[in-house]
């Protein structure tokens, strides 16, 4: 005797499809094979004198035998690490299984994914492969799948975004990559000129040219000069050539899964700024850019390394992009920012004039800097805590600082406000944050 309806219910339950594990691109072993070689090179660099003495003792036959052992060992290591690396996409998570001797399985829940970027180093572009890098809530570093075929990486990214947005597993792989509409493109000429007009570029270059000769005159030590000159030259290159190579062909596009950022001269990067994850936006205006009306837009994204939204653009264009990443937010004009009281000059002479504050219905806006202005915008819904601090010198002049903490472990400060104003701001901002979170947009993609 059977209970009516039970067998029918059992028969109607769809069987779950078995999870299919996949491997990385076959070119991956070439990347992994460098590990044993890197160990040998690291040992040689660590003790160059000992390395030189050992090499002089070796004969040509011994060197050839050593190469005959090291090269196949490196190739075998690369192949085995690739062979034992698998990944699979289930209904709720991305599972990555790695390890040759010590097994490691990463279970990345889809709802915890904050951003998925596709990056292509120069050699990877030549080989037609790409890395898939994932920003996950609570993870200190990114998990990555390196390498996948370029088309496979983009298809997997689209599938993961679709599943994170709530699409059914059986239809997620059919959604494909959402179309994007271009909002901004930075011409190479503007980018190069903006770097020339940046004080940091000239400061690091002058330091690299002036400090080494002075050290040589004082010490007459080649090693001291090299130990100082090389880092200074590296800093000068990173602030000029390095930034140009990284931010070359910067394009911002709008799609249902967020703002897409493509950039890079040698290494191409395809990033996504997820809607609802942006905690703070900063509009930076260096002194030499003001005549041209240019600004730079930086941002803080919870759990993500994305830090630049617009490398250089006219202010009105940049503000239009900010309006897309922070819907409903209007950037307060400079005339709307209130300065601290004049007695603030007793605490911070001259530079107090660079501080300003504006609180609108949507954001907490704080400005600082005279030569390099920086206006930070924090949506009320993203404020995690509000603090008031007052040092002894500030208490003497009835001043206080109000700190606003965000979910990206960053702090925006309204400096040197009147003590009574700061106390009222503390209470009102706590209330705005509470009500702002109730009406905030969801953080999920495409929702």
**261 is written with which tokens?**
């950022």
Radius of gyration of the chain (CA): 28
Nearest alpha-carbon partner for 355 in 343, 372, 342, 369: 369
pLDDT bin (cut points 50, 70, 90) of residue 446 is very low
CB-CB neighbours of 89 under 10 Å? 21
Question: 418 vs 338, 404, 425, CA distance in Å?
Answer: 11, 17, 10
**299 is written with which tokens?**
């941002």
What is the CA 142 to chain-centroid distance, rounded?
Answer: 10
pLDDT of 66-78, one tens digit each? 778 777 877 787 7
Assess whether pLDDT exceeds 90 at residue 387. Answer: yes
Q: Kindly give the pairing relationship between strand 278-285 and strand 294-301.
A: antiparallel
Contact assessment for residue 357 and residue 338, using Cβ atoms and an 8 Å cutoff: yes
Contact assessment for residue 211 and residue 228, using Cβ atoms and an 8 Å cutoff: yes
Q: What is the pLDDT of residue 46?
A: 65
Average pLDDT, the chain: 83
pLDDT bin (cut points 50, 70, 90) of residue 343 is very high
Q: What are the backbone angles phi and psi of residue 151, rounded to the nearest 5°?
A: -65, -40
Assess whether pLDDT exceeds 80 at residue 18. Answer: no
Angle at 142 between CA 140 and CA 143, to 5 degrees: 125
pLDDT bin (cut points 50, 70, 90) of residue 230 is confident
pLDDT of 118-139, one tens digit each? 999 888 888 889 999 887 766 6
- pTM of structure: 0.78
DSSP H helices in 100-221: 122-127, 150-165, 169-175, 188-196, 199-219
Assess whether pLDDT exceeds 50 at residue 420. Answer: yes
Place of tokens 């005797």: 1
More confident of the two residues 227 and 354: 354
Nearest alpha-carbon partner for 390 in 433, 426, 434, 360: 426
Question: 48 vs 38, 59, 227, 228, 229, CA distance in Å?
Answer: 15, 19, 17, 20, 21
Contact assessment for residue 225 and residue 345, using Cβ atoms and an 8 Å cutoff: no
What is the CA 57 to chain-centroid distance, rounded?
Answer: 49
CB-CB neighbours of 225 under 10 Å? 19
Q: What is the pLDDT of residue 157?
A: 87
Q: d(Cα 18, Cα 238) in Å, to the nearest integer?
A: 48
Q: Stretch 248-257: mean pLDDT, rounded?
A: 89
Assess whether pLDDT exceeds 90 at residue 155. Answer: no
Q: What is the pLDDT of residue 134?
A: 85
Question: Which of 25-39, 60-74, 136-150, 282-296: highest mean pLDDT?
Answer: 282-296
* Residues with Cβ within 8 Å of residue 424, at least 6 apart in sequence: none
Q: d(Cα 376, Cα 300) in Å, to the nearest integer?
A: 10
pLDDT bin (cut points 50, 70, 90) of residue 174 is low
Extended beta strands in 5-109, E state: 86-89, 93-98, 104-109
How many residues does this entry show for the chain? 447
Q: Stretch 267-283: mean pLDDT, rounded?
A: 85
Q: Provide the 3-class DSSP secondary structure of residue 142.
A: coil
Q: d(Cα 128, Cα 126) in Å, to the nearest integer?
A: 6
Q: Provide the 3-class DSSP secondary structure of residue 116.
A: strand
């Amino acid at each position: 005797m059977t209970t009516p309806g039970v067998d029918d219910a059992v028969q109607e339950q769809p069987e779950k499809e078995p999870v299919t594990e996949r491997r990385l691109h076959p070119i991956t072993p070439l990347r992994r094979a460098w590990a044993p070689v890197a160990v040998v090179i690291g040992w040689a660099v660590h003790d160059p004198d000992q390395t030189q003495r050992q090499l002089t003792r070796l004969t040509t036959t011994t060197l050839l035998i050593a190469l005959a052992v090291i090269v196949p060992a490196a190739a075998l290591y690369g192949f085995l690490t690739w062979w034992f690396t698998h990944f699979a996409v289930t209904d709720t998570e991305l599972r990555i299984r790695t390890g040759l001797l010590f097994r490691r399985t990463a279970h990345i829940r889809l709802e915890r994914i904050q951003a998925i970027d596709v990056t292509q180093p120069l050699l990877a572009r030549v080989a037609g492969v790409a890395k898939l890098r994932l920003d996950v809530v609570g993870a200190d570093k990114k998990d990555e799948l390196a390498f996948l075929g370029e088309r496979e990486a983009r298809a997997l990214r689209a599938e993961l975004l679709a599943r994170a947005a709530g699409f059914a597993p059986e239809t997620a792989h059919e959604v494909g990559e959402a179309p994007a509409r271009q909002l901004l493109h930075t011409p190479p000429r503007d980018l190069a000129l903006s770097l020339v007009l940046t004080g940091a570029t000239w400061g690091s270059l002058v330091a690299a040219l002036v400090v080494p000769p002075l050290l040589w005159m004082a010490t007459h030590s080649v090693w001291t000069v090299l130990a100082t000159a090389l880092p200074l030259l590296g800093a000068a290159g990173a602030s000029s050539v390095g930034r140009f190579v990284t931010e070359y062909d910067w394009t911002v596009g709008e799609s249902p899964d967020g703002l897409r950022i493509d950039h890079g001269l040698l290494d191409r990067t395809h990033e996504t700024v997820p809607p609802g994850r942006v905690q703070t936006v900063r509009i930076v205006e260096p002194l030499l850019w003001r005549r041209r009306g240019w600004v730079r837009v930086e941002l803080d994204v919870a759990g993500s390394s994305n830090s630049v939204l617009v490398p250089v653009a006219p202010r009105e264009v940049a503000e239009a992009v900010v309006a897309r990443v922070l819907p409903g937010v209007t950037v307060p004009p400079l005339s709307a920012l209130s300065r601290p009281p004049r007695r603030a000059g007793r605490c911070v002479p001259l530079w107090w004039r660079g501080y300003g504050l504006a609180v609108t219905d949507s954001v907490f806006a704080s400005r600082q800097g005279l030569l390099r202005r920086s206006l930070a915008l924090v949506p009320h819904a993203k404020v995690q805590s509000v603090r008031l601090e007052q040092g002894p010198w500030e208490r003497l002049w009835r001043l206080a600082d109000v700190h606003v903490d965000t979910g990206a472990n960053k702090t925006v400060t309204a400096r040197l406000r009147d003590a009574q104003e700061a106390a009222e701001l503390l209470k009102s901002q706590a209330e705005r944050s509470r009500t702002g979170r109730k009406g905030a947009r969801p953080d999920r993609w495409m929702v």
